[in-house]
A = this chain, B = another copy of it.
Amino acid sequence: MAQLRIAMAQVNPTVGDLDGNCRIVLDHARRAHEAGAHLAVFPELVVTGYPVEDLALRNSFVSASVKAVAALAERLADEGLGELPVAVGYLSRRVGVGERYGQPAGTPQNAFALLHCGRVEVGSAKHHLPNYGVFDEARHFVPGETLPVVRLHGVDVAFAVCEDLWQGGGPVAAARRARAGLLVTVNASPYERDKDNVRLELCQRRAREIGAAVGYVNMSGGQDELIFDGDSLIVDAEGELVARAPKFEEDLFVTDLALPAADGGVPPSEGPGEAVDGVRVVRHLLSGEPAEPYAPAPPVLTPRADPASDVGEVYRALVVGVRDYARKNGFGSVAVALSGGIDSALTTTVAVDALGADRVHVLLLPSRYSSEHSVSDAEELVKRQGVTSRTVAIAPIVAAFEEGLTLEGLAAENLQARVRGTLLMGLSNQEGHLVLATGNKSELATGYSTLYGDSVGGFAPIKDCWKTLVWELARWRNAEAERTGAPPPIPENSISKPPSAELRPDQLDTDSLPDYDLLDGLLDAYIGTDKGMRELTTDGYPPDLVERVIRMVDRAEYKRRQYPPGPKISSRNFGRDRRLPITNRWTPRS
């Protein structure tokens, strides 16, 4: 056996910020060196941030990324870190292939590099390109065709990129053929509820298939709608969990491994040999001899998968999402319209946890239909959390509109929501706050919201949370406060009272929508599992309800497209992964 000390850098880069991202790599490489690591591994596309989307198709961006990686290698050497092999993901291009009709322009690749002694020592690229859910990589990249296997302190280490681990064949099969002692994958794998054990089980299965340890290094932090939750881990060749980093945190995690020493002093030279499964093994020699034996340090092994922590994890994902969206877009503060209801109460609380109360500005915008408890519940939250608040009564503004144009019914209801949206945007334009929209997923699904009204804003923290989850999150947050001896931030009355938009007298959500327990179950079954009308009624939902709700969902597509982005916590989603044509005359009948 040979020893290897691996540093997994679970960092949080920003898309397009090449300089800043390279600084992050440099800082963590220095820490890895100080910790005596033999190898530092960073996430997929760490140099550019992930996802680059169509920046991949900009020739000048690809060139800038290639240059940045070369400069990073030199900089590492200049700072005395040249001996430490540093594994990074970056954007590159495939050379030696011509432009072909239908192929991404400029042949960009989701590339991998090992930086060593001032040079880009090893180059390869992601082979399997995911093109489902939030991923569009067949649009943006051409596939890589090599698996690099690097002899490092006598161990053959294979390197692959994210999806290459998920799909069978290709790089996984090549790693087995190459008799690698360790397969390291660099990843940008977004958070989803219950996804962490899926990743662990995948690594365990692959380790047993390949007969080698597997190291999985993931990104952390929020990038637009994606929240990367870290959860980097290492399993041994039997699939036993050896090390596991905490979720969401940006940090460096060092693990000592004992791995099989490779046969022979020098790896067999493999030139441009034949590709099997579309993948060719390319070997590199960094250091043939095992490291001097040393006493291994105990690994980080963060416990996970306590089902009770699920709601708490969602809450944390939302906080990370708001924190990073504000920071990465250059906003120092946020503004929220606080109604006294649960959605705006939870949104405000998430924002306070993300940014601090002094950076959260709320507007209380009572109308002629606002109940007394709405105002008092909102004021109670302001008091408990210490956010800055202002109150503007909207009745005189609504009256001024109605002088110019008489509106009735739904048009009059929407007018009030739009007056609020305009006030909120006015405050934002005047003072520079990021506006947070407060809509939840049940509203987005059914279209129970006002375009350009409650839907205004730059980010929508709870847009992927069903209404029933919104209540759970609020209760969890209050319980967490009590657990730590702090006062509960959310007024109990905001959680317990029946929900209402308060756009007409005595209005309740249940006037227009079924009870949320029933509705959320039905929505989740329709959107998540794609059941047709017959299956949903077989599941026990009344046929007229099924028909009504399905129609609402399909007709709300336009509103959803106009909604601000927000943190994704689920693959049962709209948006990129569920995008209907706006003109869509079809409703499932069976």
Closest B-chain residue to A63, C-beta based? B590
A54 contacts across to B, CB distance below 8 A: 577-580
Contact B427 A586 (CB under 8 A): no
Instruction: Specify the chain B residue showing the minimal Cβ separation from A393.
Output: B404
Q: Does A269 contact B (CB under 8 A)?
A: no
Residues of the B chain whose Cβ atoms lie less than 8 Å from the Cβ of A565: 582
Contact between B329 and A582, CB atoms less than 8 A apart? yes
Query: Is A423 touching B401 in the complex (CB atoms < 8 A)?
Result: yes
Task: Give CA–CA (A562, B451) in the complex, Å.
Answer: 11
The 8 A CB mask of A418-434 against B (1 = contact, 0 = none) is 11011101110110000
The answer to whether A275 has its CB under 8 Å from any CB of chain B is no
For A423, the chain B residues whose CB sits under 8 A away are 401, 404-405
| B392 lies within 8 A of A163 (CB) | no
| CA gap between A16 and B557 in the complex, in Å | 14
- Complex partner residue of A329 from B132, B329, B415, B583, CB under 8 angstroms: B583
Q: What copy number does this chain have within its complex?
A: 2
State A411–B533 Cα separation when bound (angstroms).
48
A300 at the binding interface (Cβ < 8 Å):
no
Q: A364 → chain B, closest Cβ, in Å?
A: 11
Q: How many residues of A contact B (CB 8 A)?
A: 91
Residues from chain B with a CB closer than 8 A to the CB of A63 are 532, 590
Q: A60-B588, A102-B163 are in contact. Are A407 and B430 (CB under 8 A)?
A: yes
Residue of B nearest to A325 (CB): B583
Q: How far is the CB of A363 from chain B (nearest CB, A)?
A: 9
Nearest-Cβ distance from residue A185 to partner chain B, whole angstroms: 16
CA distance in complex: A220, B585 (Å): 18
User: Is B400 a contact partner of A426 (Cβ separation < 8 A)?
Assistant: no
A253 to B502, CA, bound (A): 58
CB pair A14 B583 closer than 8 Å: yes
A483 proximity list for chain B (CB < 8 A): none
A393→B407 CA distance, assembly (Å): 16
Shortest C-beta distance, A337 to chain B (Å), equals 12
Give A532 to B136 CA distance when docked, in angstroms.
24
Q: How long is the Cα–Cα vector from A583 to B323 in the complex, in angstroms?
A: 13
* Contact of A585 (CB < 8 Å), options: B14, B58, B578, B584: B14
Q: Does A167 sit at the interface, judged by CB under 8 A? A: yes
User: Which B residues are in CB contact (< 8 Å) with A223?
Assistant: 581, 583
The distance from the CB of A206 to the nearest CB of chain B, in whole angstroms, is 13
Which residues from chain B contact A55 at a C-beta distance below 8 Å? 580-581, 584, 586
Q: How far is the CA of A482 from the CA of B139 in the complex (A)?
A: 47
Interface string of A47-60 (1 = CB under 8 A from B): 00101111101111
**A586 pairs with B224, CB closer than 8 A:** no
* A396 and B404 within 8 A (CB): yes
| Chain B residue at minimum C-beta to C-beta distance from A577 | B54
- Picked from B52, B57, B533, B579, the residue with its CB within 8 Å of the CB of A530 is B57
Q: List 29 A-B contacts (CB under 8 A).
A: A14-B585, A15-B584, A16-B586, A20-B585, A53-B581, A54-B578, A55-B581, A57-B530, A60-B532, A63-B590, A64-B586, A64-B590, A102-B130, A102-B166, A102-B167, A132-B139, A138-B138, A328-B585, A390-B405, A394-B404, A397-B400, A397-B404, A399-B400, A400-B400, A401-B423, A405-B423, A411-B429, A422-B452, A562-B562
